[in-house]
Amino acid sequence: MSMLPTFGFTQEQVACVCEVLQQGGNIERLGRFLWSLPACEHLHKNESVLKAKAVVAFHRGNFRELYKILEGHQFSPHNHPKLQQLWLKAHYIEAEKLRGRPLGAVGKYRVRRKFPLPRSIWDGEETSYCFKEKSRSVLREWYAHNPYPSPREKRELAEATGLTTTQVSNWFKNRRQRDRAAEAKERENNENSNSNSHNPLSTSMNGGKTVLGSSDDDKTPSGTPDHTSSSPALLLSGNPGLQALHGMSHPQGPSAIPVSAADPMHHHTLQDSILNPMSSNLVDLGS
């Protein structure tokens, strides 16, 4: 660990000062510190110094210098999230200035498509809704443990995932809303299912007609003209004479029999010939 020429700090100490000033948000002081560094190529290629230069360039609006730094050096994966945010935010700001209005979700998507992340700050892993899959995995795992992280835990999650605290908070808020909506829907379905199971006849009452059995009102009482034992069809089938007589004419009722009104004797003889067999049939049916 040797001292830099004409400078009172080692390279490691310079890197430490850069990190402390960045985390403290002292960007102007960080810029003055970088300006005071000696012209040492080895020092200016230090990753912490390069990252500090990128932060200062972003805050000063010197985006061309920012892009040059990010594209010209290979950064370690643990620095990728922070540098990716600088790259995207700078391009968003430039696009908003050109359009004269803030960018929506679609506008930001188009900017990302037009200016993809350079491989110097991107490991090639696909992103989902601007979140890397491994970042989403960390958030899902924490959500299963505790859906309501404290402000301190949100800051720790932001550090672990490379996201901002606001992004972490919004992710948990949206996830809780989706889960509550899903639970309400499931509860409604269960209530409807239980209601239907407790009222098995509701479907037949509201829709079709379900016949459970014959009622007393549906039965024909004995002694009526429609009762089976005295129906004309049964009497005809049990008496050949009646079948023949039925075929000779078209009676107006079950007992209407065409006879000649001019011959009373013939009428009585024919009546006896019909009634005697009929009586026998009725006796047989009753036995």
Q: Which of 108, 106, 115 shows the shortest CA–CA distance to 87?
A: 115
Residue 79: exposure state from Cβ atoms within 10 A (0-12, 13-18, ≥19): middle
Quote the tokens at residue 42: 């080895």
Q: What pLDDT shows up at residue 196? A: 75
What does the alpha-carbon distance between residue 182 and residue 267 come to, in Å, rounded to a whole number?
90
Residues 49 and 2 in one domain: yes
Q: What pLDDT shows up at residue 265? A: 52
The reply to whether 275 falls in a domain is: no
Query: What count of residues does the chain have?
Result: 287
Residues 89 and 53 in one domain: no
Domain that holds residue 35: 1-60
Residues 112 and 139 in one domain: no
* Residue type present at position 224: T
Residues 120 and 135 in one domain: no
What does the alpha-carbon distance between residue 273 and residue 267 come to, in Å, rounded to a whole number?
10
Q: What pLDDT shows up at residue 17? A: 93
Residues 94 and 136 in one domain: no
Tell me which DSSP letter residue 7 carries.
Answer: S
The reply to whether 92 falls in a domain is: yes
The reply to whether 241 falls in a domain is: no
Residue 55: exposure state from Cβ atoms within 10 A (0-12, 13-18, ≥19): buried
- What is the full per-residue pLDDT of the chain (287 aa) written as tens digits? 455 555 678 889 999 999 999 989 999 999 999 999 988 888 888 999 999 999 999 999 999 999 999 999 999 999 999 999 999 999 999 999 999 999 988 899 899 999 999 999 988 766 555 677 888 889 999 999 999 999 999 999 988 888 888 899 999 999 999 999 999 989 888 888 887 776 655 544 554 444 444 444 444 444 444 444 444 444 444 454 444 444 444 444 444 444 444 455 554 555 555 555 555 554 454 44
State which of 153, 177, 194 marks the end of a domain: 194
Q: Which of 166, 167, 158 shows the shortest CA–CA distance to 138?
A: 158
Q: pLDDT tens across 143-168, in order?
A: 999 999 999 999 999 888 888 888 99
The reply to whether 221 falls in a domain is: no
Residues 144 and 190 in one domain: yes
State which of 141, 167, 194 marks the end of a domain: 194
Residues 116 and 137 in one domain: no
Percent of the chain scoring above 90 in pLDDT? 42
Q: What pLDDT shows up at residue 232? A: 44
Residues 140 and 104 in one domain: no
Q: pLDDT tens across 171-181, in order?
A: 999 999 999 99
Quote the tokens at residue 164: 């901002």
Q: The domain that contains 188 carries what CATH number?
A: 1.10.10.60
The reply to whether 22 falls in a domain is: yes
Residues 82 and 53 in one domain: no
The reply to whether 113 falls in a domain is: yes
* Residue 207, number of CB atoms within 10 A of its CB: 8
Four-CA torsion 252, 256, 261, 265, nearest 10 degrees? 170
How many domains in the chain?
Answer: 3
Give how far Cα 61 sits from Cα of 33, 89, 156, 266, Å.
Answer: 18, 11, 29, 132
State which of 60, 90, 111 marks the end of a domain: 60
The reply to whether 206 falls in a domain is: no
Q: What pLDDT shows up at residue 222? A: 44
Q: Which of 159, 196, 16, 194 shows the shortest CA–CA distance to 82?
A: 159
Q: What pLDDT shows up at residue 216? A: 44
The reply to whether 253 falls in a domain is: no
Q: How crowded is the C-beta side of 90, counted as CA atoms within 13 Å?
A: 25
